[in-house]
A and B are shown apart, each in its own frame.
Chain A
Amino acid sequence: MQALEPLVRLWRRVWRPRSLRGDGWPIALAGAGEEAAANAAVPATDWAAARSRASEARARKLLCRTLSASQLQELQTHGCFAVEAPGRGRFYILPQTSFNVFHPQTGNLYCCTTEIFVPLSDLMVAQKLVLENDPDRFFAVANCRPKLFAGP
């Protein structure tokens, strides 16, 4: 094994796994600058996570631009916000991906999501817009989990 040590050291200096490059092939590192750049690159799984974070950040910006001032304050303070659905009352949109629309008067939780995947903040934007402006559509498709709380 000791005989292989120089070879392993050389391999470590010269080659980097494909996940560090993202182009599917290992690369030869010529200079210290390139090596630093390669080391700064993220593995594929982290890249996916980074992309997911970027999407969520973009969606969060849109959410903040779409909310009214009072809703934005609620979001910043509590992480959720209230919406008024015409003829249906007040609902709270919670920051989770399923059963996140809460009706405090009944304790019911509703689950209504978009057909395609969108970041959480985009889902909250969608739910706000549909509840406030097209509640019949929301309640036509939403699944309801009745009475979350069995309190007094």
Chain B
Amino acid sequence: MKTLRILDSSGDRVFTFDESAAGLRAQREAKALFTRMLSHGATAFKVNRGDGKPDEKVTDFSALENETIVVPRVVGG
């Protein structure tokens, strides 16, 4: 089961999906959302990867691991 967390005003929105046939629809929706967010300037990071692996930026949906945080577009404050 993979988790996509999108930061927003409520804290974060969570989407879970897996690669089984049953979870195909959820996966398609998550992929569409992921692609749309990134095309609007968001950045995604693989986090809590286990085995001491550091967080990592990710741009490819197929490379997502257990948990991914999507940060909305950043701007100068």
Contact = CB atoms under 8 A, between A and B. Distances in A.
Contacts of A66: 47-48, 55, 69
Given A55-B11, A58-B12, A129-B69, A115 B77 contact: no
A27 interface: no
Contacts of B69: 62, 66, 125, 129
B10 A142 contact: no
Interface residues of B, number: 24
Interface in A98-152: 98-99, 111-119, 122, 125-126, 129-130, 132-134, 137-138, 141-143
Contacts of B71: 114, 125-126, 129-130
Contact of A62 (B5, B41, B73, B77): B5
Given A66-B47, A129-B69, A112 B11 contact: no
B50 interface: no
A58 B8 CA distance: 11
B77 A99 contact: yes
A142 B74 CA distance: 9
Contacts of A130: 43, 71, 74
Contacts of A93: none
Given A111-B77, A118-B9, A125-B69, 19 more contacts: A54-B11, A56-B11, A66-B48, A66-B55, A111-B76, A112-B75, A114-B73, A114-B75, A115-B41, A115-B73, A115-B74, A115-B75, A116-B72, A122-B11, A125-B71, A130-B71, A134-B57, A137-B43, A138-B74
9 contacts: A55-B10, A62-B12, A115-B73, A125-B7, A129-B47, A129-B71, A133-B56, A137-B43, A141-B75
